[in-house]
Structure 1
Amino acid sequence: MSHFTTEKKANIFKTFGGAETNTGSIEAQIAMLTERINHISGHMKGNKKDFSSNRGLIVMVGRRKRLLQYLSANNLTSYRSLIEKLGIRK
């Protein structure tokens, strides 16, 4: 996770969580996981045999999926706006 600077993380948390210190909100967690998934997906395109990174990617996708299911069950409007902002689930 070395490609994330503290400023980039703070910007993600401020944009999706409402404040830089609101790291526990569901929206901020999903946004952070999406950034990490996109970074590792790019890494996997060039390193197809990196199986440990591939497993980490699968674990992160599963965690994001569970968080998205929780958000859609509890706050559907927030879920819809989040997936539109992040560009996931077409």
Structure 2
Amino acid sequence: MYLTAEKKQEIFEKYGKSNSDTGSSESQIALFTFRISHLTEHLKLNRKDHSTEHALIKLVGKRRSLLDYLKKKDIVRYRAIIAELGLRK
């Protein structure tokens, strides 16, 4: 599987406040970004996989909602996570 427990811990440790911080917006956005990049690579090889395409669209929407929430709540944290992950609006 592409997303092992060790990989999740690594993402939460890097972007969250601690390695057990799974609820912060930054850690969830980082996890969604990792999953989005994996699904994007999958869809490059499998163009007709519509269920994966649907899941990708839902993930992008969830990440966008979290980013909007973080932007409204704390603009400094929003700018930091955007710069760190290399996202753009």
TM-score normalised by length of structure 1: 0.95
Partner of 1:85: 84
Rounded Cα–Cα distance in structure 2 between residues aligned with 1:62 and 1:6: 24
Rounded Cα–Cα distance in structure 2 between residues aligned with 1:76 and 1:32: 20
Could you list the runs of 5+ residues in structure 2 that have no partner in the other structure?
A: none
Identity of aligned residues (%): 45
Could you list the runs of 5+ residues in structure 1 that have no partner in the other structure?
A: none
Letter in 2 for 1:37: I
Cα offset for 1:8? 1.1
Partner of 1:55: 54
Cα root mean square deviation, aligned: 0.9
Runs of 4+ in 1 over 4 A off after TM superposition: none
Partner SS, residue 68 of structure 2: helix
Partner of 2:42: 43
Rounded Cα–Cα distance in structure 2 between residues aligned with 1:53 and 1:79: 28
